[in-house]
């Protein structure tokens, strides 16, 4: 269908197919026409594939992102009494960082409007985790969100349908057409929502490794650079950390069990890697918002981050004192030899948790609050034959066999005394 400015879908597809640059006018037209239904799914699929194969330059990506933003509403937090800073993770296994991070940054005087999503496949969703808390609700009106940001300082909730509706439509299409990996489309998808959200500063946690969306460090760095450029060009102070996702974070992958681990971190304990990344991201968020005079480690130690967590959960109808759901069935996997655990593959653990019911294959699938995997050793730890390595949790025990198959080959135990060289959790910083 041809638009008022003379563009049509075949012309736009052909331009990118032939390695041409799309003009600002072409981009604005095709994103708007697709959102309205005037460009068919099969036409947008062809364009997405052409973008995957032939790429976009910085101007094209910026124009595409702006067109996605223009498809919906923009939020404005300028009326708040404190600056705002947000974080986005590209997703991983055991990545519960948002849960302790949002109240921690809020306890330091910076408001956190954390619009989050649900899990799909082997990566968990923040909203699924929080919904294991009795009474907690993900859906807030814009008025409720603003009021909670002012009173509590932190909100973790679902993004409304009004933010970048073009992205919602295109994301679903990319998922079924083999075009998810296109860096221009990944970057514009993430950044259109974050810029439309209206935060003043943004810290990106770009995961690298087997359990990450980006397996290759060079590709992850390229994605980080594109997103930082998009944020900066839009007037949002943006920085990215590249972080390791070859080994899962913490000691749990699931929903309720990750909430429990997050509460341990807020109580001043928890696994060292979860604490390290939470504090590192908090420092970046605070610095980007102009509040690097506060050390977030102090707010974990003095209990104020925990106080903010309790207020945040209660403000969204949750009971912070409620007992978390527990799976009905469990299965323990033990070490078959003495030695040193030298590898624990994040993808294997993530797929096992997903198969146990902690994740979903399709958007409409339910998840089990209590399902997941607990691991009792981390790479570098010595283990003894017969010692528990994993506890698998589910309400449906027929799932155990497929979860065990996912873990098979997903870890290595080397001879006693074998050297282990840990990889750094934070690989690089892009600003």
- Is residue 97, in this structure, part of any structural domain at all? yes
Check which CATH number belongs to the domain holding 144 and give it: 3.40.1030.10
Domain that holds residue 40: 9-55
Look up 193 and say whether it is catalytic. yes
Single out the catalytic residue among 122, 129, 193, 207. Answer: 193
Predicted confidence (pLDDT) at residue 147 exceeds the cutoff of 70: yes
Asked if residue 375 is part of any domain, the answer here is: yes
Domain count, the chain: 3
Q: Answer yes or no: are the C-beta atoms of 23 and 31 closer than 8 Å.
A: no
pLDDT of residue 175: 78
Do 109 and 138 belong together in one domain? yes
Measured CA distances, 1 to 8, 15, 27, 183 (Å): 6, 16, 15, 28
* pLDDT higher than 70, residue 360: yes
162 and 275 fall within a common domain: yes
Q: What is the pLDDT of residues 61-77, one digit of tens each?
A: 999 999 999 999 999 99
At residue 4 the predicted structure's pLDDT band, cuts being 50, 70 and 90, is low
The answer to whether residues 265 and 381 belong to one domain is no
**260 shares a domain with 136:** yes
pLDDT-based confidence at residue 245 (cuts at 50, 70, 90): very high
Local confidence band at 178 (pLDDT 50, 70, 90 cut-offs): confident
* Dist CA 87 CA 199 (whole Å): 10
Q: Do 122 and 198 belong to one domain?
A: yes
| pLDDT at residue 181 in the model | 84
Pairing of strands 372-375, 252-254: antiparallel
Instruction: Identify whether the C-beta of residue 375 lies closer than 8 Å to the C-beta of residue 385.
Output: no
DSSP for 145-186 reads HHHHHHHTSEEEEEPPTTS-HHHHHHHHHHHHHT-TT-HHHH
CA dihedral (115, 199, 424, 381) positive or negative = negative
Whether 339 and 253 map to the same domain: the answer is no
Residue 64, in any domain of the structure: no
pLDDT tier at 163, thresholds 50, 70, 90? confident
Specify the pLDDT at position 73.
92
More confident residue, 174 or 264: 264
**pLDDT for residue 257 is more than 80:** yes
How confident is the model over 406-426, as pLDDT tens digits? 999 999 999 999 999 999 999
User: Of these residues, 7, 96, 174, 355, which one is catalytic?
Assistant: 174
Please tell me the pTM assigned to this model.
0.94
With respect to residue 320, please indicate whether it lies within any of the assigned structural domains: no
| Domain harbouring 392, CATH code | 3.90.1170.30
CB count, 10 Å around CB of 102?
A: 29
Same domain, yes or no: 288 and 212: yes
Tokens linked to 338: 């003495």
Catalytic residue among 8, 63, 86, 167: 167
CATH number for the domain harbouring residue 19: 1.20.970.10
Q: Is residue 428 part of a domain?
A: no
- Residue 322 is predicted with a pLDDT of 97
299 and 150 in a single domain? The answer is yes
CA distance 96 to 70: 31
Which of the following is catalytic: 88, 207, 221, 283? 88
For residue 6, pLDDT beyond 90: no
pLDDT at residue 3 is higher than 60: no
Q: What is the mean pLDDT of residues 331-360?
A: 96
Q: How many helices (H) and strands (E) does the chain have?
A: 16, 13
Asked if residue 120 has pLDDT above 80, the reply is: no
Residues in Cβ contact with 398 at an 8 Å cutoff, skipping those fewer than 6 apart? none
Residue 420 lies in a domain: no
Task: Specify if 407 maps to a domain.
Answer: yes
| 189 is annotated as an active-site residue | yes
- Look up 412 and say whether it is catalytic: no
Q: How much of the chain is helix, strand and coil, in % rounded to 5?
A: 45, 15, 40
pLDDT at 5: 67
Cβ(87)–Cβ(70) below 8 Å: no
> Is 328 tagged catalytic?
no
234 & 365 share domain = no
Mean pLDDT value across the chain: 94
Domain boundary among 291, 315, 339: 315
pLDDT at residue 381 in the model: 97
Q: Known catalytic residue: 88?
A: yes
Residues 199 and 169 in one domain: yes
pLDDT per residue over 97-108, tens digit each?
A: 999 999 999 999
Q: pLDDT tens digits for 26-50? A: 999 999 999 999 999 999 999 999 9
Residues 310 and 336 in one domain: no
* Residues 6+ away with beta carbon under 8 Å from 216: 208
For 348, the enclosing helix (H) or strand (E) is helix 346-353
- Asked if the structure places residue 323 within a domain, the reply is no
Q: Can you tell me the distance from the alpha carbon of 430 to that of 159, in angstroms, rounded to the nearest whole number?
A: 26
Examine the domain organization and report whether 244 and 384 are in the same domain.
no
Active-site residue, from 188, 189, 246, 262: 189
């Amino acid at each position: 269908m041809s638009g008022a400015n003379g563009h049509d879908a075949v012309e736009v597809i052909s331009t990118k197919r032939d390695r041409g640059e799309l003009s600002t006018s072409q981009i604005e037209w095709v994103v708007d026409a697709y959102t309205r239904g005037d460009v068919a799914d099969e036409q947008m699929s062809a364009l997405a594939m052409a973008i995957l194969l032939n790429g976009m330059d910085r101007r094209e990506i910026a124009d595409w992102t702006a067109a996605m933003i223009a498809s919906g509403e923009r939020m404005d937090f300028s009326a708040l009494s404190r600056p705002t800073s947000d974080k986005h993770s590209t997703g991983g296994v055991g990545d519960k960082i948002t849960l302790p991070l949002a109240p921690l940054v809020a306890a330091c005087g910076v408001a956190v409007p954390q619009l989050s999503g649900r899990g799909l496949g082997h990566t968990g969703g923040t909203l699924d985790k929080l919904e294991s808390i009795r009474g907690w609700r993900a859906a807030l009106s814009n008025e409720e969100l603003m009021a909670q940001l002012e009173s509590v300082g932190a909100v973790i909730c679902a993004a409304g349908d009004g933010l970048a509706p073009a992205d919602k439509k295109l994301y679903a299409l990319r998922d079924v057409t083999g075009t998810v990996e296109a860096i221009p489309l990944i970057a514009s998808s993430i950044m259109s929502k974050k810029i439309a959200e209206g935060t003043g500063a943004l810290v990106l946690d770009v995961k690298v490794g087997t359990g990450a969306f980006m397996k290759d460090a060079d590709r992850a760095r390229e994605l980080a650079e594109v997103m930082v450029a998009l944020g900066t060009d839009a007037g949002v102070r943006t920085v990215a950390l590249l972080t390791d996702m070859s080994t899962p974070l913490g000691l749990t992958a699931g929903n309720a069990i990750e909430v429990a681990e997050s509460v341990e971190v807020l109580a001043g304990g928890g696994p060292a890697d979860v604490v390290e990344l939470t504090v590192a991201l908090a420092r970046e968020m605070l610095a980007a918002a102009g509040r690097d005079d506060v050390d977030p480690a102090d707010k974990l130690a003095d209990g104020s981050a925990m106080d903010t967590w309790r207020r945040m959960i209660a403000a969204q109808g949750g009971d912070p004192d409620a007992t978390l759901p527990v799976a009905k069935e469990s299965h323990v996997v033990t070490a078959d030899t003495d030695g040193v655990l030298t590898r624990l593959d994040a993808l294997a653990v993530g797929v096992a948790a997903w198969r146990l019911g902690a994740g979903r294959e399709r958007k409409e699938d339910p998840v089990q609050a209590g399902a997941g995997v607990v691991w009792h050793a981390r790479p570098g730890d010595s283990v003894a034959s017969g010692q528990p390595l994993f506890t698998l949790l589910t309400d449906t025990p027929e799932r155990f066999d497929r979860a065990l198959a996912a873990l098979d080959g997903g870890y290595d135990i080397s001879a006693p005394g074998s050297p282990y060289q840990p990889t750094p959790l934070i690989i690089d910083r892009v600003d």
